[in-house]
């Protein structure tokens, strides 16, 4: 079974019909987003010219029976700490929100779909990166 966690860049790439990202999303049996990704998307929508259109497209995407928003809790926070410390020890920091995405993927055994190469530094998770 192919279960993926979209980061913000992958959702945006899918909406722009990036061929590789589109193929992976279309072939996935389960597609997850977490609240951090949703927050980044909504923040982008608020600042953009097509807020209503973008919000409607997101709601349509989330209405798919394959799409789910996965929760974050204390276990997610513990996994965040593991990833954060590993990145710090390696001297390879990445953006904080992306550590939360990595922690979510780690917790739920999901593969991250992204266009951000820095996810490759997160050794605790599997990543499909189309940068």
The CATH number linked to 121 is 3.40.50.1010
The pLDDT tens digits for 63-79 are: 999 999 999 999 999 99
Task: Specify the pTM.
Answer: 0.94
SS3 of residue 25 by DSSP: helix
Inter-axis angle of helices 8-15 and 19-27, nearest 10: 100
The pLDDT tens digits for 8-42 are: 999 999 999 999 999 999 999 999 999 999 999 99
Number of domains present in the structure of the chain = 1
The pLDDT tens digits for 35-67 are: 999 999 999 999 899 999 999 999 999 999 999
Residue that is written with structure tokens 């995405």 in the block: 101
Domain hosting 107: range is 3-129
Please report the DSSP string for 73-129 in residue order.
Answer: -HHHHHHHHHHHHHHHHHT----HHHHHHHHHHHHHT-EEEES-GGGGG-TTS-EEE
Question: How buried is residue 38: exposed, middle or buried, by Cβ count under 10 Å (0-12/13-18/19+)?
Answer: middle
């Amino acid at each position: 079974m192919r279960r993926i966690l979209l980061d913000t860049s992958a959702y945006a790439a899918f909406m722009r019909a990036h061929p590789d990202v589109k193929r992976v999303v279309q072939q996935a049996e389960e597609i997850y987003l977490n609240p951090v990704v949703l927050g980044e998307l909504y923040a982008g929508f608020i600042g953009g010219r097509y807020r209503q259109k973008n919000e409607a497209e997101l709601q349509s995407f989330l209405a798919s029976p394959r799409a789910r928003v996965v929760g974050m809790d204390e276990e997610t926070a513990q996994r965040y700490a593991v990833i954060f410390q590993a990145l710090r020890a390696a001297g390879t920091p990445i953006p904080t929100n992306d550590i939360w995405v990595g922690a979510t993927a780690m917790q739920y055994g999901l593969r991250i779909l992204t266009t951000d190469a820095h996810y490759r530094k997160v050794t605790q998770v599997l990543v499909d990166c189309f940068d």
